[in-house]
């Protein structure tokens, strides 16, 4: 199988920079080949393209399944906006200075063709917790199951991966005002040890109940690489996930937003809301490089 971009499945990093660019026109290739090829000191980069750019790039086989993110209008007036961008660059690693230098270099390399539309700086919070205080990633696939969930297994796109990127803003004051036992019912896991609730304690509107779902008898698996972002005033999560099938993101979001069962929408949506949303396609490593000219 063609090799996926290895940053997708590497171990969690201390620092992240998430860059989303709006690309002008429909380029057949992008500048920045040297940067696309250069490794990030003590880190990694992952590059992905929106539907329009995937189709215009001459050397990247356009995946059939890629589409723009469309806004979600869910139960109780809850919604998720679409802010589809064209190019996604995710820098992760142990050296914030090196990530920053790489982000600047990318901005300069792309300046003739693309505007930086979104920039988020993420960080590992304690033992890989979301800013709500709950461990994020406990039920993520492990070992070989990571790439099996994240990357297309066979065919022309083997090694490619679909991406969902959404910036969420938390209402931490409201969430932390709940007793811990209630916070745990919102998530569906215990706070200190991240043990999944069982029996009557696991409510159907918990986040885990809404996202641990099956479709046609198969578990809907994605690989999540989200990170806390923002400051005290706009603390939240850059939700980032990879999947072998774009539809899995839609099914999960529909389940969270009460579009599969209007009686049960995700209670987490009372405490956090997305303010951006894009789908991207991360081609296998060799096809990603082929998108860049000198």
CB of 36 closer than 8 Å to CB of 173: no
Cβ count near 269 (within 10 Å): 23
CA dist list (Å): 213 to 32, 65, 246: 40, 21, 15
Nearest residue to ligand HEM by CB is: 139
Among 253, 282, 285, 290, binds ligand HEM (CB under 6 A): 253
Does 208 bind ligand HEM (CB under 6 A)? Our answer is yes
What is residue 22's DSSP assignment? E
Task: Taking the CA atoms of 213, 83, 125 and 12 in sequence, report the sign of the dihedral they define.
Answer: positive
| Closest to ligand HEM by CB, 67 or 105 | 67
| Closest to ligand HEM by CB, 106 or 175 | 175
- Which residue among 136, 144, 182, 286 is the active-site one? 136
CB of 128 closer than 8 Å to CB of 220: no
Judged by CB under 6 A, the number of residues near ligand HEM is 24
User: Segment near ligand HEM (CB under 6 A), from 5-13, 42-50, 143-151, 246-254?
Assistant: 246-254
Which residues inside 160-179 make contact with ligand HEM, applying CB under 6 A? Answer: 164, 168
Q: Is 136 a residue of the active site?
A: yes
Which residues inside 79-138 make contact with ligand HEM, applying CB under 6 A? Answer: 130, 132, 134-138
Give, rounded to a whole angstrom, the gap between the first and last alpha carbons of the chain.
27
Rounded Cα distance, 245 and 152, in Å: 7
DSSP 110-126: TTTTEEEEEEEEEE-BT
Among 121, 189, 225, 267, binds ligand HEM (CB under 6 A): 189
| Closest to ligand HEM by CB, 87 or 208 | 208
CB of 256 closer than 8 Å to CB of 187: no
Identify the three-state secondary structure at position 162. Answer: strand
The mark string for 13-52 relative to ligand HEM (x by CB under 6 A, - otherwise) is ----------------------------------------
Catalytic residues: 136
Chain contacts with ligand HEM (rule: CB under 6 A): 130, 132, 134-139, 164, 168, 187, 189, 207-208, 211-212, 222, 237, 239, 249, 252-253, 268, 272
């Amino acid at each position: 199988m063609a090799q996926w971009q290895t940053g997708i499945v590497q171990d969690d990093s201390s620092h992240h920079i998430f860059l989303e660019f709006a690309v002008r026109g429909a380029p057949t290739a992008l500048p920045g080949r040297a940067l696309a090829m250069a490794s990030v000191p003590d880190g990694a980069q992952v590059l992905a393209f929106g539907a329009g750019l995937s189709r215009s790039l001459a050397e990247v086989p356009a995946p059939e399944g890629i589409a723009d993110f469309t806004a979600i209008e869910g139960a109780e007036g809850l919604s998720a906006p679409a802010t589809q961008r064209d190019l996604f660059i995710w820098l992760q690693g142990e050296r914030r200075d090196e990530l920053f230098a790489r982000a600047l270099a990318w901005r300069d390399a792309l300046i003739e063709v693309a505007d930086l539309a979104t920039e988020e700086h993420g960080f590992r919070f304690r033992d890989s917790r979301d800013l709500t205080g709950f461990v994020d990633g406990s039920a993520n696939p492990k070992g070989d199951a990571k790439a099996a969930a994240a990357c297309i297994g066979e065919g022309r796109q083997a090694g490619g991966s679909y991406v969902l990127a959404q910036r969420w803003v938390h209402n931490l004051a409201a969430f932390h005002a709940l007793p811990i036992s209630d916070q745990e019912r919102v998530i569906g896991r215990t706070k200190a040890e991240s043990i999944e609730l069982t029996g009557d304690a696991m409510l159907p509107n918990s986040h885990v109940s809404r996202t641990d779902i099956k479709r046609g008898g198969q578990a809907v698996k994605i690989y999540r690489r989200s990170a806390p972002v923002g400051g005290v005033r706009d603390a939240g999560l850059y939700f980032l996930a990879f999947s072998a099938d774009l539809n899995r993101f839609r099914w999960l979001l529909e389940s969270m937003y009460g579009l599969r069962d209007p009686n049960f929408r995700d209670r987490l949506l009372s405490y956090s809301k997305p303010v951006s949303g894009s789908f991207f396609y991360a081609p296998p490593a060799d096809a990603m490089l082929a998108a860049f000219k000198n």
